Amino acid sequence: MKTGLKGSASNAAKAGRAASRALIFLVFLFPVLLFIIATDNLDSKTMARGNVQLANPEAELVRLPAPRHDSRFSLEKAIKMRRSVRQYKDSPLTLAEISQILWAAQGFTRERKEPPARWNPKYEWQGGLRTAPSAGALYPMEIYLLAGKVEGLPGGLYKYIPKNHALRKLAGADKRKALCQAALGQPQIEKAPAVILMAGVYERTSYKYGERAERYVHMEAGSVAENVYLQATALGIGTVLIGAFNDDEVKKAMSLPADESPLIIMPLGKIPGTPEEK
């Protein structure tokens, strides 16, 4: 009888110790489980909302003011007054002025959801037709902005995103001096409040047009540059088309992707003696 009692007590003690160990294990495990669940929920929400760096790159964009599509400054007047200007006032440009010039360069004029039939799938279709003509609507031009003195826009290097009419900041450093050095030291690049750099992606056009792509891209670059000239003139802003530079040094200074070739540099600044500032 005593032996049976001793056995029962021993078994009860073992069961108690096992229960205690299980309780201790659960006490430590419970916070871990809560952390895993919370992290899983956070990941789901992050994916749903879009991660700033990965899932939703649009969160990085600097939205530009909406461009206007009409004004009292006639096209004929802009054509007559257009000149290459290399001297600029030491005054900032406004974000609205930058917005208008970028729209004139590569902004949308009409939405088009489907890409052309001969679109290189390596590249994103932005979703619209633009202000400058492009062979096959293939749009090989990429537009960069070097901001030095632009109201409401921190200095740095930006890329224009036509589908959002926005800028994506690529670097916070002022690249105007580096670009000036790569362009044979032409001082207007460093002194201008802002500078546009146009780069061509020949692959987008050669996918359809083969060897003729190079000339088509260069034709388009000229059209974009003239749009910038005329729009800048209408805003009282001076610019000049610069093609004298070392391609490799420009690519390095601006950290351009391997498939982008620098084609045109256009500094921007208020024209000295413009009526509104006399």
pLDDT digits (tens, 9 = 90+) for 144-179: 999 999 999 999 999 999 999 999 999 999 999 999
Domain spans, the chain: 1-49, 68-277
pTM above 0.85, yes or no: no
Print the SS3 string covering 246-265: CHHHHHHHHCCCCCCEEEEE
CB atoms within 10 A of CB 171: 13
Mean pLDDT value of segment 197-215: 98
pLDDT digits (tens, 9 = 90+) for 88-126: 999 999 999 999 999 999 999 999 999 999 999 999 999
pLDDT at residue 46 tops 60: no
| Better pLDDT: 56 or 32 | 56
Quote the pLDDT of residue 125: 97
Which fold is adopted by the domain 68-277?
NADH Oxidase (3.40.109)
Map residue 150 onto helix, strand or coil. Answer: strand
